[in-house]
Amino acid sequence: MNPFANIVKPTLLLDEAAAMMNIHRMVGKARQQQIRFRPHFKTHQSAEIGEWFRQVGVTAITTSSIDMAQYFADHGWDDITIAFPANLRQSAQLADLVGRVRLGLLIENREAAQHLEGTLPTAVDAWIKIDAGAGRTGLSWSDAAAISDMATEVQSMKKLRLRGLLTHAGHTYSAASPEEVCRRYHESIDHMQAARAVLQRAGYPPVELSVGDTPGCTLCDDLGAVDEIRPGNFIFNDSQQVALGVCSAADIAVALACPVVAKHADRSEIIVYGGAIHLSKDYLMLGETRAYGLVALAEGNRWGPPLEGGYVRGLSQEHGMIRLAQPDFDRVQIGDLVLVLPAHSCLTVTLMRTYRTLDGREITTFNV
Amino acid sequence: MNPFANIVKPTLLLDEAAAMMNIHRMVGKARQQQIRFRPHFKTHQSAEIGEWFRQVGVTAITTSSIDMAQYFADHGWDDITIAFPANLRQSAQLADLVGRVRLGLLIENREAAQHLEGTLPTAVDAWIKIDAGAGRTGLSWSDAAAISDMATEVQSMKKLRLRGLLTHAGHTYSAASPEEVCRRYHESIDHMQAARAVLQRAGYPPVELSVGDTPGCTLCDDLGAVDEIRPGNFIFNDSQQVALGVCSAADIAVALACPVVAKHADRSEIIVYGGAIHLSKDYLMLGETRAYGLVALAEGNRWGPPLEGGYVRGLSQEHGMIRLAQPDFDRVQIGDLVLVLPAHSCLTVTLMRTYRTLDGREITTFNV
């Protein structure tokens, strides 16, 4: 069966074999280094795809929201870390979850610790959120007093079990080279170890370290002395990962099939049905040029390699403006499909909410 | 009732009174200038909100997709232009629609015209899509031969009634000032008139002109010699429109309520639950600074004016990083709500899919 035959509008194609390969690679790497693998499910967001992880022995997962944790709890996952600072306003939902799963929460302030102490029916694992260099959120790895105070606060709570220190080294995404990705990854682990040493010196029982972004976990041979990794994007990868040197385009497991609706020979550009409401407005840099995705064509039952010189030049709500090299421009016809390899697969999945596999099966996400 | 009391996670608030005021203003302007008002419903995407337009006499609408046209047809709208180049692959859906509503389609190539001729059961209104300067898609306004050929092609088809020339002057969004918005708007109308003159000289019967972007239709007192306008964003406006000088912040009718989950005094930044999957990654420029939204606080039963010096500095999947001036930083507490005035309301609506009015009522969109 030709997977492209009956596609009439923007459709998120999923190459299961490529995704499975990506899963196997990361599972194998973690296992070999005896590090717990707690994949972030915010990328695929799907119970069915979650089962692929279960089949290879994964039992612990990460989600980015309480709603997503509830969805996966409903689908039999019972060890879930919500990798987002605890949200006081959702304590009723948290109270429900804590009775059903082993729950890990991120704590980085006294307000959250005290609120949880007052509202949770039983104890959760508390991970102190550390900023190991990314500059998003968490206690600075170098602020020994804040980390120590936070640990004391957590230890004083009956509903919080101090489990460890957790970070997301998101600044690997802005690295200039694969080497810099690894430098930043390892530096973040050094910072985490320094933070843990603060607690050790202060006499706290040993705590775990949880880290893990896709660039670092993919590119660095040695994952370092950590207890668990939590990458998410690696299952699908995307054009940003390719631009960063994290993977090759063949490792991208999702592509948005877009009907061609217009051609502009004067600027060697095609217009596709497929815009910001399908792909998101995230982008990558190709040298000095902003690209909202790379572009491929159908080849047999999959999509082919990215077209040399092809990229998504701009997006409006439903339109994609795609620059193509002359020979590709000439062979693409109105009514054809082109495949956009998303800049950022997590956001594209959030928008599309449903996958179609290459054999035409539908897979839904928790957002449907 | 306090509209903020029971909000626990990112929630799209809708100020109905502000939206209604925006509708009245645009309806009045079009009526006064005797121009048909065919509002673009891609911004609100909601049958219930559509009724507000019907109450003030609107009978013709614009959508950005066939799916959206079907949704509004199901809700009683019977004069719909799909302002997107006709997509050959959806001819079955178009064939269904054409039996139910007066349908307008955008044509800019022979392939679409011929395909529609072969697949539509009855005739539709054909609008030749013109690029009047925006550089997205359409036949160039200055390419007399292409416009004339396209009109000939359309005229030769039984299923296409040549209704007019249509453009979207989207380059008003990149204008440097309100004056430049109006210059570009009027220039695009001059271009449309030049394109129409080509057809008049070639002996075609008179055709209509359809234009209309929110910046131009809001800022320019004289809408020009056109037959219809199709703005959409004006109903809610957003921070991009404020930055462009199109409206004041008081004219923004939607805001994303976001729980505060962390504070970082060293950089006067708060972290909110509310990220790229709620707001989209669209942004505005505040001088040299990229901002993913402006920020306000609750004041009584509405949100207040944007905080001076406050803006969304960055977004990841679920996190918003918000810079605040020192006094605002000091008064915002963990667990509070802040209100983000979206950079681009159309994309935020697409992501959120449901509104909550200030009196706590839920309004859904076609994406739910």
Min CA distance, A205 vs chain B (Å)? 26
Q: Looking at residue A17, what is its pLDDT?
A: 98
Q: Per-residue pLDDT averaged across A252-268, rounded?
A: 98
Partner residue facing A316 (CB), from B66, B170, B280:
B170
Spatial neighbors of A222 by CB under 8 A, at least 6 apart, are A33, A186
Residue A207: which pLDDT band, with cuts at 50, 70 and 90?
very high
Q: Per-residue pLDDT averaged across B29-56, rounded?
A: 98
CA distances from A216 to A189, A233, B71, B302 (A): 11, 11, 45, 44
Q: Per-residue pLDDT averaged across B282-301, rounded?
A: 96
Q: Looking at residue A118, what is its pLDDT?
A: 97
Residue A287 class from Cβ within 10 Å (0-12 exposed, 13-18 middle, 19+ buried)?
A: exposed
Which chain B residue is nearest to residue A134, measuring alpha carbons? Answer: B316
Q: Looking at residue B3, what is its pLDDT?
A: 85
pLDDT over threshold 90, residue B31: yes
pLDDT over threshold 90, residue A2: no
Q: Looking at residue A326, what is its pLDDT?
A: 98
Q: Looking at residue A269, what is its pLDDT?
A: 98
Residue A5: which pLDDT band, with cuts at 50, 70 and 90?
confident
- For an interface test with B, give the residue of A66, A88, A107, A313 to mutate (most B CBs within 10 A): A88
Which chain A residue is nearest to residue B336, measuring alpha carbons? Answer: A89
pLDDT in tens, A209-259: 999 899 999 999 999 999 999 999 999 999 999 999 999 999 999 999 999
Contact A188, A165 (CB under 8 A): no
Q: Looking at residue A226, what is its pLDDT?
A: 98
Q: Looking at residue B315, what is its pLDDT?
A: 98
Task: Give percent of chain B above pLDDT 90.
Answer: 98
CA separation for the pair A317, A280 (Å, rounded): 9
pLDDT over threshold 90, residue B320: yes
ipTM higher than threshold 0.90: yes
Q: CA torsion sign, B186 to B191 to B192 to B193?
A: positive
The neighbour count for residue A302, using CB atoms within 10 Å, is 17
What residues of B are in contact with residue A169 (Cβ under 8 Å)?
none
Q: Looking at residue B170, what is its pLDDT?
A: 92
pLDDT in tens, A83-123: 999 999 999 999 999 999 999 999 999 999 999 999 999 99
Q: CA torsion sign, B165 to B237 to B65 to A346?
A: positive
Task: Give percent of chain A above pLDDT 90.
Answer: 98
CA separation for the pair A191, B161 (Å, rounded): 69
Task: Of A57, A63, A66, give the one whose Cα is nearest residue A39.
Answer: A63
pLDDT over threshold 90, residue A36: yes
Q: Per-residue pLDDT averaged across B68-72, rounded?
A: 98
pLDDT in tens, B146-175: 999 999 999 999 999 999 999 999 999 999
Within 13 A of A80's CA, how many CA atoms are on the CB side? 27
Residue A201 class from Cβ within 10 Å (0-12 exposed, 13-18 middle, 19+ buried)?
A: exposed
Question: Is B271 close to A88, i.e. CB distance below 8 A?
Answer: no
Residue A187: which pLDDT band, with cuts at 50, 70 and 90?
very high
Q: Looking at residue A61, what is its pLDDT?
A: 98
pLDDT in tens, A136-173: 999 999 999 999 999 999 999 999 999 999 999 999 99
- For an interface test with B, give the residue of A65, A87, A271, A349 to mutate (most B CBs within 10 A): A87
CA distances from A25 to A20, A28, A139, A363, B82 (A): 9, 5, 32, 23, 46
- For an interface test with A, give the residue of B4, B264, B353 to mutate (most A CBs within 10 A): B264
CA separation for the pair B362, B345 (Å, rounded): 18
Residue A268: which pLDDT band, with cuts at 50, 70 and 90?
very high
Q: Looking at residue B368, what is its pLDDT?
A: 83
Partner residue facing A271 (CB), from B89, B137, B259:
B137
pLDDT over threshold 80, residue A343: yes
Question: Is A276 close to B282, i.e. CB distance below 8 A?
Answer: yes
Task: Of A249, A217, A227, A264, give the one whose Cα is nearest residue A343.
Answer: A249
Which chain B residue is nearest to residue A83, measuring alpha carbons? Answer: B318
Q: DSSP for B281-347, please give it.
A: S--EEETTEEESEEEE-EETTEE-SPPTT-EEEEE-SSEEEEE--HHHHHH--TT-EEEEEES-HHH
pLDDT in tens, A46-90: 999 999 999 999 999 999 999 999 999 999 999 999 999 999 999
pLDDT in tens, B205-257: 999 999 989 999 999 999 999 999 999 999 999 999 999 999 999 999 999 99
The neighbour count for residue A330, using CB atoms within 10 Å, is 12
DSSP label at A42? T
